[in-house]
A and B are shown apart, each in its own frame.
Chain A
Amino acid sequence: SAVISQKPSRDICQRGTSLTIQCQVDSQVTMMFWYRQQPGQSLTLIATANQGSEATYESGFVIDKFPISRPNLTFSTLTVSNMSPEDSSIYLCSAEDRAYEQYFGPGTRLTVT
């Protein structure tokens, strides 16, 4: 199984600022993803982080708001830009291991005031 860490684990940010979340996997993986879980809700896929090319965004999510980097096979970042209170959520990184099992990081709890 893949072990995934995320930083920061939580943050409180002011409206209009940006926050970058880091995701580190303990082994090389092909597929990495970013999900959002709004309070009391299920998980929604934001984008697939592609190594060496632009991320692939799901409907309703755009690069200007959620820029993603994937510089290598073990690391990715998600930036939440120009934040508003509606961005308050848990942001989770996931990776698929060689057995095609998808594991999740512990999440980043973001509160925007």
Chain B
Amino acid sequence: AQKVTQAQTEISVVEKEDVTLDCVYETRDTTYYLFWYKQPPSGELVFLIRRNSFDEQNEISGRYSWNFQKSTSSFNFTITASQVVDSAVYFCALSEAEKLTFGTGTRLTIIP
């Protein structure tokens, strides 16, 4: 069975600090996909990234970066120079046959 663990329930940082959200996963599949989603207070789920299991290159998109390490089954998400608008719940998810298994989420609060 698949499992996604986001051990950090809540994180608070002061604006402009960097913050890393951890995600550890378990799967028996050799081919799988990992996702990150943002859920701001408005409630919609915003797609951030999808990464397949064969691509371990780190990804950078503006202030966001992702570190995928198969050896430790981790897919961590870093926000650089955080802003108040980054305050949200962030979910990591793992897909099997297109069905997503979500972690419990990390609530990130950026303090102005």
Contacts and interface: CB of A to CB of B under 8 A. Distances in A.
B2 to A, nearest CB: 11
A96 B45 contact: no
A99 B50 CA distance: 10
Contacts of B104: 41-42
A75 to B, nearest CB: 18
Contacts of B35: 102
B99 A90 contact: no
A20 to B, nearest CB: 20
A90 B100 contact: no
Interface of B: 33, 35, 37, 43-45, 47, 50, 91, 95, 98-105
24 contacts: A1-B47, A31-B98, A33-B98, A33-B100, A41-B104, A42-B104, A43-B45, A43-B91, A43-B100, A45-B100, A48-B98, A48-B99, A90-B43, A100-B33, A102-B35, A102-B47, A102-B95, A102-B98, A103-B47, A104-B47, A105-B44, A106-B43, A106-B44, A109-B43
